[in-house]
Structure formats: C-alpha cells, structure tokens
Amino acid sequence: MNLKTKLSVNSTLLFAFIVGLVLAGSFVLFKNHRQDLYYERLEDSAIITAFFYFEKDEITKVDSSRYQRIEIQYKKITNQTIRIYNAKTKELYLRDGINIKLSDQELKAISKSRILHFTKENRQFTGLFYKDNQGDFIIVVSGIDTVGDKQLDVLGLIFILSYLFVIPLNFFIGRYLAKQTFRPFEDVIAKVNTITTENLHSRLEMPTSGKDEVRELITTFNYLLERLESGITVQNNFLKNASHELKTPLTIIIGDIDVSLQHPRTNEQYEAVLKSLRKDTFHLKSILDGLLVLSGLQVGEPEQMESVRIDEILWNVLEKKAIEYPESKVSLNLEAIQNEQLLSVHANKHMLFTALYNIVDNAIKFSFPAPVSIFASEKEQKLQIKIIDQGSGIAEKDKESIFDLFFRSDRTRHVKGQGLGLFITMEILNRHHITLTVDSELEKGTSFSLLFP
C-alpha cells in the first residue's frame, strides 16, 4: 500500500468514526427530545382533561349525553387514552380502552410526585395528581407517538444512507487530494531516477513560489547531489593524479631494479642502488601522503576547531625543520606583538600546522643556504605572519599558478617537490578564512603574508 492509499484509508477511517459518532449522538438526542416533547403533550392533555371533567361540582355528571359527545370528540382530536382514579381509594372513575393495569405503587408515585412521566409496554404515560372540591384524583393520560416514531425511522434511514454515501465519497475525494498533494513528490522521484553518475551535475528545479516540504526536499536533495558530485570528482581526481604522479617514481624504481638484475654487481653498487630505491620510495610516500591529505580536504572532513597558540605551532614547525634541514637558518620574531591574545586563534591545529609547515618548507628549500625570517605583527588589530626567504623569487607569470595542483615552475624543477604543498595550503587557509598575500622579486626572494581573521 503506497502512501497515497494509506493516507486516504486512514483519513476515511477517521472521518467515518467521527461522522458515525456525530450521527449516532444526533439520533439519540433527537429520540430523547421527541420523547420529552410527547411527554409535554401528554401533560398538557392531562391538565385539559382535569378542566374538562371537573368543571362541574359532581363527577357523576360526566354521564350526561352532552359530555359524552364532547369526550368522544376530544379523544379523537388528541388520539390519547384517559383514565381517572380516586387518589385515596384507587377506584377507577373513568376507564380507557387499553388493557394495561397500573399498580398501586405507580399510583402512589404519581400522588407523591404530582406529575410523573413513565413508559410501560411501549406506551408513554403521564400521571397528574389533581385536587378538586369533591376530593383528590389521579388523571392518567397515555398514548403512542406514532408521528414521532415515523419521523425517527425516517431520520435513522436518512442517517444510514448518508453515512453509506458519504464514507466512499470521502475516500475518493481524499485519494484525489492525496494524489494532487503527492504529485510534486512524484515529479521529484521521476527526475531523480534520470540522474546517474554520468549527469551528477543535474539539479532539481526549485518551485517558483511557496515554502513547503517539497521545496525543502528539493533543496536537501540538490545539496546531496552537490556532495556526491564533489565526492566522485575528488575520487576521479585522486585516481588521475595518483596514477600520474606515481607513474614516474615507480618507473624509476622498476628501472633501477631491472638494471641491477641484468648482471652481477659489487656490494658497493648494490648499496648505491638500494640508496636510490630508498630515496625514490620516500618520494613516493611523500606523494601518497600529500594526495591523502588533499583527498581528505576536498571531501570536507569534519573540522575540529579549537583555540590554539600560533607561536606554539610555529615553534613545532621549526623544530621539525631543524631535524630535516640541520644546516638551515630560520629565525622567529614575535617582539612586535604587544597583545598576546592575538596569538590565540580559533583553528584546526593539525591543518594549520600543515599549512605553515608547507610554506616554511618551501622557503627553506628555495632559499638554502640563505636564512629564512618569520615575523609576527599586528595589522588592523589582526594577527599577521610573514615568512620571508631569500631565494630565486617567483616569476610574474607564475604567481597565479603556484597554488595550482601539481604546478612546478621551470625555474625550480631542480628542487625536490610534488606540486602539492601550496595547493593544500591554500585549501586550509580558505577554510580558516586566512588571507594570503604573495610578494616576490626575482633573484631577491619571496614573502608570504598571512592575515588572520
């Protein structure tokens, strides 16, 4: 059962329950109200009977022919039976034509209540206690509300037919409305079914007006498509870049192994081959590490942002560089910082370390053996870090390309590298909203300025 049918069935069942409850309640209320109205009529008839029969001083005079004719006409008009009892002796003065006997307890109850309504053998009775100068009497008027019963039967039939007609009608109307309501979802599903890995760039059309669940669904699904497209793009790029970058070192490694296996060599020659293989293997590992970091950045891994000290990160970077390049000279100057709170930044410590590590690493490699200087200062009440080298500089035509993936300038191909560092650095800085400015002059050096938010 699909959602449209389920919604229609559930709404119809709820509607049937409520309508059935209302109709049943209305029927019972009408029945009780009709009964009360008929009791009122019987009560009026009892009062009229009292005036009619006791307007003379002697109750025995009701035997006169004149009153007999009036009585006959009165009974025809009211369609009710009348009987009169002596309240004390329970003697029946006036008989009616029905074979229903009232007990002494019922007559006493009428005397006690003055006016009493009750039903006996499907017949409604009204008893009236009446005081006269000749004594106390009980007038009992009874009848069957045939008109009311017919009205009640007609009303019940109307309710049943209406119920049987309205419930199916409600189901079909509900199904139609459910179909109209779910039509946008069907359009969305149809559009989604057309999207494959070949056309992940496609997006669902946003409704022009209104803000409802359909619009939210389309927005969410478009966001999902963007993430899928980005993830698949990253995977494709990773495979393409990995195959491209790993091909050269693997070729060199295989070539060295093949050459060394062509004929026997001395221990010194094997040692030289192993050293070359070790160097190429580390180069291969460096490429893989960079690609993995890049892949993690591009798929949007969760960022654990925290308050970190930028000076501590810089000292950690310099400590590692001192081990890797023991003959390099790098100075760190923090004296220009008067407000130490500027050194505390909100960032991902590992990512920020990687970005600064890459910039300092490039500065040392391209400046060696000249020294590298790192300055921390305050600019517009913000923290600024400058990393200055004295290398060969960056050509004007290469300034926009140094942050491209796998870019290697012709002037620096003699320096080892993979063309990954600055691309990864820029990705990290953009995530932290850090502004990077590059100033360079050929044969004099390059300055990287980082302005923190």
394 burial type by CB count under 10 A (0-12 exposed, 13-18 middle, 19+ buried): buried
Half-sphere exposure of 1 (CA within 13 A, CB side): 8
What is the residue type of 315? W
Greater model confidence, 19 or 249: 19
Q: How confident is the model at residue 286 (pLDDT cuts 50, 70, 90)?
A: low
- Is the pLDDT confidence value at 57 over 60? no
Q: How confident is the model at residue 225 (pLDDT cuts 50, 70, 90)?
A: confident
Q: How confident is the model at residue 72 (pLDDT cuts 50, 70, 90)?
A: low
pLDDT at site 243: 67
DSSP-H helix ranges across 299-348: 310-324
Where is 440: in which H helix or E strand? strand 435-441
Q: How confident is the model at residue 58 (pLDDT cuts 50, 70, 90)?
A: very low
CATH for the stretch 213-298 = 1.10.287
Average pLDDT taken over every residue of the chain: 78
Class of the 306-451 domain?
alpha beta
What letters, b where the CB count within 10 A reaches 16 and e where it falls short, cover 58-96? ebeebeeeebeeebeebeeebebbbbbbbbeeeeebbeb
> Are 408 and 415 in contact, with CB atoms under 8 Å apart?
no
Sorted by where each begins, the domain ranges of the chain are 3-151, 213-298, 306-451
Distance CA 88, CA 140 (A): 15
Q: How confident is the model at residue 62 (pLDDT cuts 50, 70, 90)?
A: very low
What letters, b where the CB count within 10 A reaches 16 and e where it falls short, cover 98-124? eeeebeeebbeebbeeeebbeeeeeeb
**Is 3-151 CATH 3.40.50.1820?**
no
Pairing mode, if any, of strands 372-379 and 330-333?
parallel
Query: Distance of alpha carbon 97 from its chain centroid, rounded?
Result: 75
* Across 140-150, average pLDDT: 85
pLDDT tens for residues 236-245?
766 666 666 6
Highest average pLDDT, of 188-202, 226-240, 357-371, comes from 357-371
